[in-house]
Amino acid sequence: MESEETAGAVGRCVGPDGGAIGMPQLCFDWFPNQIFWLIVALGAIYLILTRVALPRIEAVIAERNGAITNDIAAAEELKLKAAEAERAYERALADARAEAQKIGAETRAEIDAEVATATEKAEAEIAARTAESQKRIGEIRDTAVQNVEAVAKDVAAEIVASLGSRADPAAVEKAVARHMTGDAP
């Protein structure tokens, strides 16, 4: 048990046994102390925040946002470049395909032309040979006709002679010639 004097010094808010009397929150004896230290604490926090913490965090966040913006811009640029490269590739591919088709078409045309000239030449040769052959066939036929005429005359003269009469060569010739031309009697 504390002395009466100490208990009195403890005051209206704390009992002699050290326990609270009523709500310590409503003990006005302690208000000045709490308010003083509150102001000190708030002042200290304010100074810490405004002098050091907030500018630093602000700067870091701004720096990060800048870095992110830059990276996004760089990525955008690279994306554009990639698209450009893809377009160039597509263009090159299309060009190559067109070139290939052109070369194919040219080659085909060349071959066609060659084939056409060769065919023409061959046809001309065939025509020439046909003409020659026909000429020769005509010749052969003419000689054959002549031979037939000669044989026919001879045969006719022989037949007339074997029939016992004398053949008149002129008449025989005339008769054979008449038969040869198809003027049958």
Partner 1 sequence: MADEATGGGFSIYPMDQFIVKPLFGGDVVHWYTPTNVTLWMALGVAGIALLMVAGSSARAVIPSRGQSMAELTYGFIHKMVEDVAGRDGLKYFPYIMTLFLFILFGNMLGLVPTAFTTTSHIAVTAVMALAVFVTVTAIGFVKNGKDFLSLFWVESAPLVLRPVLAVIELISYFVRPVSHSVRLAGAITAGHAVMKVFAGFAAAAAIAPLAIGGMVAIYALELLVAFIQAYVFTILTCVYLRDALHPHH
CA 1 from centre of chain? 102
Buried b (16+ CB within 10 A) or exposed e, 35-54: eeeeeeeeeeeeeeeeeeee
CB of 30 to partner 1, least distance (A): 4
Nearer Cβ to partner 1 (18/185):
18
Q: Which residue has the tokens 């026919």?
A: 152
Nearer Cβ to partner 1 (12/97):
12
Are 131 and 123 contacting, i.e. CB atoms less than 8 angstroms apart? no
Nearer Cβ to partner 1 (63/76):
63
Question: Which residues contact partner 1 by CB under 8 A?
Answer: 6, 9-11, 13-15, 17-27, 29-42, 44-46, 48-50, 52-54, 56-61, 63-64, 67
Report how far apart the first and last C-alpha atoms of the chain are (Å, whole number). 188
Nearer Cβ to partner 1 (60/161):
60
CB of 73 to partner 1, least distance (A): 16
Nearer Cβ to partner 1 (6/147):
6
Supply φ then ψ for residue 14, to 5 degrees: -120, 130
**Amino acid identity at 170:** A
Q: How many residues belong to the chain? A: 185
CB of 104 to partner 1, least distance (A): 58
Tokens of 45: 């926090």
Helix %, strand %, coil % of the chain (to 5): 85, 0, 15
CB of 11 to partner 1, least distance (A): 8
CB of 43 to partner 1, least distance (A): 9
